[in-house]
Amino acid sequence: MRLILLFFSKQRDFLVFLLLFIFSFSLVLNGNSLQRSKFLYVATGVVGDVYLLRTGVVQYFSLKQQNEQLAQENKQLHEQLLKERAQKLEELAKDPILLYAPEQYKVYRAEVIKNSYQLSKNYLIINKGQRDSIREDMGVVSPGGIVGIIDKTTTDYASVQSVLNTLSKISATHKKSGYYGTLSWDGKDPNVVQLTDIPSLATISPGDSIVTAGHSSIFPKGIPVGKVLSVNANTRDNSLLSQVKLFTNMQQLQHVYIIKNRDQAPIRAIEEQIQAQADE
């Protein structure tokens, strides 16, 4: 109470002025309708501006809050997608998966522990072997496309004859026309292989896709190989020579997939019978 009285005592001059001002202002408004109208007009405009400013401020902070909420939701969705992708990769790493034709092929995942690509006869070593049902002459691919063929196996490891090996011969097809030939490597560019033995009547253009032909028991039909860079005619045998850029980056391989053809044994048996008859 004492503080209140002290406050009024110190501010008495201002309070007296304020009371007199309010009293005088009310007399002006009550006595002059024009002045009252002007005052109400100005007051309405001021109040409107104040409310407009208030609304803008509220919307600004509300928009900021909404943006933060959207950012949080996007973050949660992104994390969920990453989680689902990680779960799929984890499942893929744990167990063999079926790919291409479920009844005929089984696929195993393996890590690359050694990889050469600067030699004329390049090989990879992977951390899967006989213990994991890996056998010779199984196809090896990456998420991008073909890599090579299993060459030798031990209990826990296997060597892979790389597609970057001058001894490598793989049947491949020009996807657009269906003509097929032989995929090999000339030992030069580790990103480019050669497709030969395709008839010259085939129409092949730069940018066309090359895939596996499926004419052996090693690779299924249609596995990506690469894109045509250039095409030249071979006048000696009336065929085409295509330079093909591999989809797989052979210099950055970290993991691969081994394709097991369940029908490989009976197919090989028939092939051997045919070969034996041809040799007679």
CB atoms closer than 10 angstroms to residue 68: 10
Cβ distance 151 to 138 under 8 Å? no
**Eight-state DSSP code of residue 97:** B
Residues 6 or more apart from 193 whose CB is under 8 A from it?
A: 163, 164, 183, 184, 185, 225, 226, 244, 246
State the pTM of this model: 0.63
Nearest to 174 by CA among 242, 248, 246: 242
Higher pLDDT, 277 or 76: 277
CB atoms closer than 10 angstroms to residue 97: 16
Taking residues 112-135, what's their average pLDDT? Answer: 95
Residues 6 or more apart from 243 whose CB is under 8 A from it?
A: 192, 194, 228, 229, 230, 231
Residue 238, Ramachandran bin (φ over 0: left; ψ between -120 and 50: alpha; else beta): left
Nearest to 163 by CA among 218, 237, 105, 92: 218
pLDDT at position 213 is: 93
CB atoms closer than 10 angstroms to residue 259: 23
Average confidence score pLDDT of the chain: 77
> pLDDT-based confidence at 54, cuts 50/70/90?
low
CA-CA distances (angstroms) from residue 41 to 150, 237, 276?
Answer: 91, 99, 110
**Packed helices 33-94 and 12-31: angle between N→C axes, nearest 10 degrees:** 110
Write out pLDDT tens, residues 145-189. 999 999 999 999 999 999 999 999 999 999 999 999 999 999 999
**Eight-state DSSP code of residue 132:** G
Determine the residue type at 106. K
Tokens of 188: 């030069």
Residue count of the chain: 280
pLDDT at position 146 is: 94
Cα first-last separation, the chain: 127
Cα angle: 275, vertex 268, 101; to 5 degrees: 140
Determine the residue type at 238. N
Higher pLDDT, 65 or 118: 118
Q: Which domains does the chain have, with CATH numbers?
A: 99-262 (2.40.10.340)
pLDDT at 56 over 90: no
Tokens of 82: 């990453």
Determine the residue type at 239. S
Tokens of 154: 């031990």
